[in-house]
Each structure stands twice: as structure tokens, then as C-alpha cells.
Amino acid sequence: MTWYNEQVLMIRDLHFPKPEVVDRLIKAKDLMDRHYCDDLAIHSIARRSLVSKFHFIRLFTKCYGRTPYQYLTEKRIRHAKELLSAKVSVTDTCFQLGFESPTSFSAFFKKHTGLTPSSYALKKQF
């Protein structure tokens, strides 16, 4: 093995999680992809990944470039935009995404997009 190969392996070991940890993170992300409309708790996902909540957040961020919460938020907003663009009502969109009330969904959507869901839907119609 050359010196450069050794250096690459050393850098990999220092900065990237072990392959079995990466496999568990991939499974956790897959779970998040399939159940993003459910009430997911980061600590329960971390427990399934066999790491602490805080370690899970650090590892997920290192591998995917965003925290699990940011990832779920982006996924929910993207899906909400698709539904609203397809002329699904704000109330139906709210409940399909797992929110408890249209008010909480509207506040969440406006915080992350700058528009209310109904404003976004009107904007997409024209």
C-alpha cells in the first residue's frame, strides 16, 4: 500500500463514520422518507440506529449536510407545495402531512416559505 493510500484511509477513518453506522443512517433516512407525514421523534429514530439522539444528529448532519429536523421540514414543505400546486385544499394538505390543525400547518408553511398555503396555491394557479 502506498503512502497516499494510507493517508486516504486515515482521513476516511477520522472524518467518516464506520460502514455499519452509515448503513444504520441510511435505514434511518429511509424510515424518515417513508414516514415523514407521521409524528416522528428523533430520539426514537436514533434508538433504532443504536446511537444517542445527539450522536445521531451529528452523524446525520455529517452524512447528509442537514439535521434530521431540517431534512424532515424540507421534505414536508416540498410535499405540501406539490399538493397545493395540484389544487388540493389547504385543510386536506394539512391533514395529509400529519399536522393537527390548519392553523399550525399555515404557520409552519409561512415560516419556511414566506407565504401562507393559500397564497402559494393562488400564486401557482397563475
pLDDT at 80 over 90: yes
14-20 average pLDDT score: 71
Q: At what angle do helices 68-85 and 53-64 cross, to 10 degrees?
A: 60
Query: Locate cell 433504532: which residue?
Result: 48
pLDDT digits (tens, 9 = 90+) for 101-122: 999 999 999 999 999 999 998 8
pLDDT at 126 over 70: no
pLDDT of residue 53: 94
pLDDT at 12 over 70: no
Domains of the chain and any CATH numbers: 3-65 (no CATH), 72-125 (1.10.10.60)
Per-residue CA distances from 16 to 19, 24, 55, 66, 117 (Å)? 9, 14, 13, 15, 39
- The pLDDT-based confidence of 20 (bands split at 50, 70, 90) is confident
DSSP character string of 57-94: HHHHHHHHSS-HHHHHHHHHHHHHHHHHHTT--HHHHH
45: left (phi over 0), alpha (psi -120 to 50) or beta: alpha
78-89 average pLDDT score: 94
pLDDT of residue 15: 64
pLDDT of residue 63: 84
The closest alpha carbon to 47, from 63, 27, 72, belongs to 27
pLDDT of residue 123: 85
- The pLDDT-based confidence of 14 (bands split at 50, 70, 90) is low
Query: Locate cell 452509515: which residue?
Result: 22
pLDDT digits (tens, 9 = 90+) for 21-70: 888 888 999 999 999 999 889 999 999 988 999 999 998 998 888 999 99
